[in-house]
Structure 1
């Protein structure tokens, strides 16, 4: 399978009112949120050796990173890139 690199130069497409496009955008935003969550888990090490760990500290940190990744998803470009790529694949399969 060869990847068409011309899709990276296309402007971001607006989402049609088509329910399939809306569902696809939700999925690509969720995928971007997952990528951001992994980056945040790696980069935000919130351990402080001066204070003992509280009960449930890891749960709160995970919830905090989840909320950050959900709020940032859709703004980094991975979602747009994946959406455009999948839409082009879908259009090529129709032809």
Structure 2
């Protein structure tokens, strides 16, 4: 039985010219992930901040109140992510480690 390794050899020979493009796309993916982490972190902070005002609120709480607050915090954390500086600091740290 003979095994044809020509396709595997072709793939190994052509991986080096595309290394720059690969690192560029991996940097983009890493930046997206660090932005998502910062958004998650901000959501946790906003959830804690919003829960503290529930005790002494002016209005009665209804069934959809928690859902609307969660949706609002999701939107705010996505809008604020990338501007806090945590994402960039984490991106630079992880990029150095590669």
- Is this a same-fold pair by TM over 0.5? yes
> Where does residue 63 of structure 2 map in the other structure?
55
CA distance in 2, matches of 1:61, 1:43: 11
Cα RMSD after superposing both structures? 1.7
> Where does residue 39 of structure 2 map in the other structure?
33
CA distance in 2, matches of 1:39, 1:50: 22
CA distance in 2, matches of 1:18, 1:50: 51
CA distance in 2, matches of 1:43, 1:52: 18
> Where does residue 86 of structure 1 map in the other structure?
94
Pair 1:71 & 2:70 matched:
no
State the SS of the aligned residue for 1:44.
helix
> Where does residue 18 of structure 2 map in the other structure?
none
User: CA 1:49–1:72 in 2, change beyond 3 Å: closer, same or farther?
Assistant: closer
Q: Which segment is superposed worse, 27-36 or 39-48? A: 39-48
**Structure with max Cα Rg:** 2
Aligned length: 74
TM-score of the aligned structures, taking structure 2 as reference length: 0.68
User: CA 1:58–1:24 in 2, change beyond 3 Å: closer, same or farther?
Assistant: same
CA distance in 1, matches of 2:94, 2:57: 46
